[in-house]
């Protein structure tokens, strides 16, 4: 059996929130890179975002690569997929809550 899937929200979980016009200026939140690396050993990580538009798509992919996060992420979706876990800044589960 393959790895379970974990869906992680981008804005507010992986990076700080801000104006949709400032995607390239977002900052990776504390310990996120280390946590994604650890989680990727046991989970397939899918990043989900509600950002819209082709320009936002390419800015998001570029930002993830720029910060070295793409190595731990299976894919980026702009439509919320099915998963065993959702890590979202508007939920009760944080990256620290997921046991590895």
CATH of span 4-97? 3.40.50.1000
The whole-model pTM stands at 0.78
CB atoms within 10 A of CB 49: 21
Distance CA 70, CA 50 (A): 18
What are the domain boundaries of the chain?
A: 4-97
Give the pLDDT score at 80: 72
Count CA within 13 A, CB hemisphere, residue 19: 3
* pLDDT tens sequence across 22-67: 778 899 999 999 999 999 999 999 998 888 788 888 999 999 999 9
């Amino acid at each position: 059996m393959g790895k379970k899937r974990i869906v992680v929200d981008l804005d507010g979980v992986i990076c700080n929130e801000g104006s949709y016009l400032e995607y390239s200026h977002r900052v990776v939140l504390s310990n996120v890179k280390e946590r994604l690396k650890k989680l990727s050993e046991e989970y397939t990580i899918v990043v989900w975002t509600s950002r819209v538009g082709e320009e936002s798509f390419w800015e998001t992919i570029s930002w993830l690569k720029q910060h070295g996060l793409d190595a731990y992420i299976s894919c980026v979706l702009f439509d919320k997929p099915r998963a065993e876990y959702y890590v979202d800044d508007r939920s009760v589960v944080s990256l620290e809550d997921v046991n590895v």
